[in-house]
Each structure stands twice: as structure tokens, then as C-alpha cells.
Amino acid sequence: MAGKQYSIQDLRNIGIIAHIDAGKTTTTEGILYRTGLKHKIGAVHEGETTTDWMAQERERGITIVSAAVTCYWKNKKTGKEVQINIIDTPGHIDFTVEVERSLRVLDGAVVVFDGKMGVESQSETVWRQADKYGVPRICFINKINQTGGDFYKSLDSIHNRLSKRAFPIHLPIGFEQSINGVVDLVSMKAYTYKDFTDHELVEGEIPADMLDKAKKYRSLLIENAVAEDEAMLEKFFEVGEEGLTEEEITHAVRTAIMGGKFFAVSGGDGRGVIVEKLLDLVVDLMPAPTDRSTNWGTHPKTGDEIERKHDESEPFAALAFKITSDPFVGKLAYFRVYSGKVTAGSYVLNSSTGEKERIGRLVRLQADKREDVTEVKAGDIAAIVGLKGTTTGNTLCDPNNPIILESITFPEPPVSIAIEPKTKSDQEKMSLALQRLAEEDPTFRVKVDDETGQTIISGMGELHLEILVDRMKREFNVEANIGQPQVAYRETIRKDAVEVEGKFVRQSGGRGQYGHVWLRLSQNESGKGLEFINSIKGGVVPSEYIKPVEQGVIEAMNNGVIAGYPVVDLKVELYDGSYHEVDSNELAFKIAGSMGLQDGVKKANPVLMEPVMKVVVVTPEEFMGDVIGDLNSKRGRIESMEDLSAGVKEITAFVPLGEMFGYTTNLRSMTQGRASSSMELDHYADVPSHVAEAIIAKNAK
């Protein structure tokens, strides 16, 4: 099958997304096994999985980098065969960027839920991310054949926390360990197995005691699906539920799912033969690239909007969505082709950088194994070996038809630590290793502190940085010492229309320096950054000095004013000034802009802002009081408390990041290791004055 060329209608680009430990990777393993790519199913806890091929993933049993795997599946009933590109994504919040960038290039997703836990905090995050990118979804409730697994309870939690428009398309036969198949509500047949690892599903009649329930859920599925399609709705009113063929019902469900607000639900054991029914759903219900809307981009020079259709006859356009360093072939760039096709050996334009790149080898990935291909067409996902200047979010396109596709935006990392090499010989290796890791991960930043000369690395959380330092040690043989985690505070102002003068005059015999500006500072919307407004009239500040003023403002904002943290969200209007025929130059105006900004921030009621994390703790009820008391002592604000299951509570709170370092360890000891937590950056908020004073005093030393 691998050698066969599939048309764009027979491609499925899907992601497997879920909360950590819901069984995404195991489900992917089950899919690879059933589609013939593997001879046995690898177990996460035994470190045998295909998509988790990094050492740390196998040790920790979590997925860190999303891996693209290509497999092929034929629906035995309809005979339809498709190529499926699966992206297995991480569930841990510190690696949320991996989910984000995967969703940007997917056409559909399978959301996996733990049947014992239902919807968990991270399930909500990935669901919201999928909403943001308009990705159609089907739901798979995993682990329902284990003690505590409950399909219907998990379905309720989907209705309560995610969407009321989730409808079963399969119902499990049996309960917990006695589960031995599903009822297919479209064909109204039962598909059973003797053992969940059986090689064969047996089609048969629905058990008598399930018939009423199956009819009830079938009616719900059909009535809600046809409501999304006018023609089908008319036919439904004419002929009723019984008058619709299986093909028509499948078509109606597929159309409803494409709208992005309707979700089909299945369930079972991700390791078992039931995965074949999930694969049939992917073939029947998930979109082909052509089912998604056309792509829009802009012309790199003119900024004009350009449309590209999912068609190989259109000019080539692709998005690089992930860069990895491969121990065997070097740099790998994963990319999704939106239009046209690309062949090995050809040249393409990286329109994001303006540089041309040669396409060396094209490879299709089966996790850590590779299959060389000569060309990749519209709708497909593959990887390029050996691109030099391409990073995540760059557009690759036909040099004669340049386009920039919408890139991927990444959050600013809130946690920083200082890092230094253990020995002199590690110094050079460390900077190379950090550069490589930063190329791969857009939420990992590296900078050198000008004052101390220290190397500072920043990331999305403690685990994120811990794993990057660990990778540096393993993959690049660099030993390093790391400091205490530091919070990425921000500075801003709380007063508007503050007018301030910036004047830099230096007379030193001969030509002097003269730069003079008047700036008006106001607050900008949160997350907007700097808005620099040039309101100079009549050339009181010559046009060639405007840009240097802005550069001076940016430099001063980056260096901070009250405590050395970057200043954010300002409107700075340059509205007046003066210049000297002889003594004025770019440098003088840059310094004047910088002085004006610093002075203005001090007069505009400056405040420190801190990252506030959304923290979700799942704990046995007996420890709930301790957990809440502890969160309150960390300046936390309790948002909600919910019953997850008998004796298990979920607490959601907002807590400043500065109070949360080492929290996982404290929580374990407080709850005898029985509670778990996850946290994600939610927003920035003003630091209370007594805390801010301590931070400013500490930084002034």
C-alpha cells in the first residue's frame, strides 16, 4: 500500500489529542498495529512505543514531541481505502505548543478521554485549541473495559464540560471487564470479540437487552445530524428515520461533524481490535483536505491577499510546522503542503525569510523510521531533510509565486533559569546545543544577560526546562549547572496621556550631540505590546530621526525601568521635539527616545505584573481542606470545586507562578502521593504592592 499514490480525497490528516495519560499514544500504537505497521503493540510503561522514541519519553511514559506517522486503512464494509497521516501530540501542559502547532496543520482530530476520569483539565485545553483552529472532531472514550471505566458517565462529562452536541455512534456491549464489542448505530449491527486483542471482529445481531437503548441513541444521532443539512432534513421529514440508507446517515453525520459543532462518540480499549471501528470512523467521517476551506495568505512584498486551493495544479505553498534534530540525518523539517507539489532536488522560496532553499531528501515518517519519497502533493504531510534557514511557522513556496501563509503564534515563556557549563570544554558545546533546541521549540528562548554575562533559558514551565536540560546532556553530551527558576515579570503603566521630554545634549568641543523629543505615554490593550505613533508635523524632528527614536524606546522597554523587567503594552506618541543642524544625529535621537521613555514610565504610575497560572488539582476528598488551605496561602484564588467521581474532587484555582515552584512535590507529600495537578499560563496581573516592593528591592542590589 505504501507505494500507491493516493488522491487528495483519500488523504486524512488527523491528530490524536487528549489529557495526559488518557491513552493517546497507546491508541496510536493500536492503530499502527491494526494497519500493519507494527507486529506487536508497544506499551508506554515498557518504553516500547513507536511515536515516543525519545529517551525521556520512554522513561517518563509521556509524549513530549509530536510525531507524524503515515499508515493506510481500508474500510472492509465499503471498500474505501485511505492514507492516514497521524500526529500524536503531548498531553502535558508544558508542551501545549506541540498541540497548538499540530492543530494548525490538521484537518481532523480524534479526542481521547480516559473512561475512568471523563473530561479532565487538559482535555478542556486541547478542546479549546481545536475550537480555535476549527478542527472537526470525533471522540473516543478509552479504558472503559477497566475497573471504574464508564462510557455513559464520561459522555455526561463531555456534555457538561465541552459540548452538548456529542452523540454516540457506537455503544459498548457489556460493562467494565465484561465489555466485548460495540453496537454500531448506523448499521444497527453488533461487532464483538472474544478477547480484546482478537484479530477479527464478528458482525452479529444487537443483544436483545440493548435494542431499546440502541434505538433511542440512534434516533438522537440521526435527528441531530440531519438538522445540520437542509436537503437531508427535508428527506428526513419525508421518509423518516427508517427511510434513510446507511450511506445517507453516514453522509449526514459527516456533514454535521465538518461544521465543527457536532461530535460523534465511540469507545473501547485503545489497544484492542475495537480500534478497527475507530479507523472506519476516520475513513468515513473525518475530512479530506479538500473538505476544508481554501487557504489564504499574503504577498510578501505587496501584502495583498492571495487564495490557494487544495489542488496540485496550483503553485506550491506549504507550512513548516515543526523542526527536529535527528541523530541520523540531521535537521528534519515537518511540513504540510496546502497547494501544488514539491519534488526532491528542487528549489523553493522560504517567503518568511526571503531565502531560497534546496529540497534535498523528502521522507515520509513512520515515527523514527523513514521512507524516501520523490514528491509530496497538496494535502499531504511529510518531512524535508537538510533545510538550513527554515524554522517553525515559515512558509515554503514556489519562487515565482510567493505567498506567506498565516503563521503559528506562540505564547511568551513565563519561567526562566540561569544555566552555565560545568567545564570550560562544555562552553562551546552548550551554546550550540541551546541554539539547536531553540530552533526546534519556539517556546524555548535563550539569551545572555548583558550585565551578568549569564546565559538565561526560558520555557513554559519547570518540567519543560528540566527536559530541555536533560536532552542537552543526553543528545549533546553537555553537563550544566542550573540556577533556581525565576518568574518572567513584566512592567507596565496605569496612567494615561503622560507627557515627557527626552533631551540628550552633549558639547565636547567640535561636533556635539543633540537629540530632543516630546513623548506622550498611554496604556495599551493587554497583549498588544508597543504601539509607536509618529505625530510630528512640519519636520520639527526630521524623518530620518523618527526610526532611531522608536529604537531607543524599544531598547529602554526591553531593559525595564523599575525592576529591569520588560515594559509591555504601551502607546508611545512622538508629538514634538527639536534638532540641531550640525550636532543632531541618529544616535543622539535614539538616546533621547530612550531617556524620554524611562522618565515617562516613572511618572505614569508604573506597576509590576506577574504571570498567573490556572491550576487544576485532582485530589481524594479527605485532603481537600489541606489542598485549598495551601493554595490560599500561595495568594491563590479558588475558582471552582467539582465532584469528579465518588470521593474525588477537582479544584480549579488561579495562583501566581512565583508561588508555585516545586508545587508537584509538595502536593505529593501533602496527599500521600494520591493527588495530581496541572497548570497553564492564564493571564498577567498586577503584583500586590508589598510583594512588588520586595522584588524591586531585591533587583536593586
Spell out the SS3 assignment of 573-611: EEEEEECCCCCCCHHHHHHHHHHHHHHHHHHCCEEEEEE
User: Between 451 and 544, whose confidence is greater?
Assistant: 544
Residues in contact with 224: Cβ distance below 8 Å, sequence separation at least 6, in sequence order: 165, 167, 256, 262
Given 604, 630, 654, the domain boundary residue is: 604
- The CA distances from residue 533 to 139, 536, 596, 621, 688, in Å, are 49, 9, 15, 55, 31
Report DSSP state, residue 483: -
The amino acid that residue 607 corresponds to is V
Domain assignment of residue 247, yes or no: no
Q: If pLDDT is split at 50, 70 and 90, which confidence band does 196 have?
A: low
pTM of this prediction?
A: 0.71
pLDDT at 595 over 80: yes
pLDDT at 93 over 70: no
Domain harbouring 690, CATH code = 3.30.70.240
Q: How many other CB atoms are there within 10 angstroms of residue 272's CB atom?
A: 22
Given 586, 604, 622, the domain boundary residue is: 604
Are 152 and 191 found together in one domain?
A: yes
Domain assignment of residue 92, yes or no: yes
- The CA distances from residue 166 to 26, 101, 207, 373, in Å, are 23, 25, 24, 39
Q: Is 196 helix (H, G, I), strand (E, B) or coil?
A: coil
Domain assignment of residue 673, yes or no: yes
Are 282 and 194 found together in one domain?
A: yes
CA distance 409 to 404: 14
pLDDT digits (tens, 9 = 90+) for 519-572: 999 999 888 889 999 998 888 999 899 999 999 999 999 989 998 889 999 999
**pLDDT recorded at residue 510:** 67
Are 316 and 427 found together in one domain?
A: no
CA distance 602 to 604: 6
**pLDDT recorded at residue 291:** 87
Are 287 and 431 found together in one domain?
A: no
The amino acid that residue 299 corresponds to is H
Are 96 and 196 found together in one domain?
A: yes
Are 479 and 496 found together in one domain?
A: no
Domain encompassing residue 641:
608-700
**pLDDT recorded at residue 574:** 94
Domain harbouring 329, CATH code = 2.40.30.10
Domain assignment of residue 387, yes or no: yes
Domain assignment of residue 672, yes or no: yes
What integer is the mean pLDDT of 274-285?
90
**pLDDT recorded at residue 177:** 79
Counting the structural domains of the chain, the total is 5
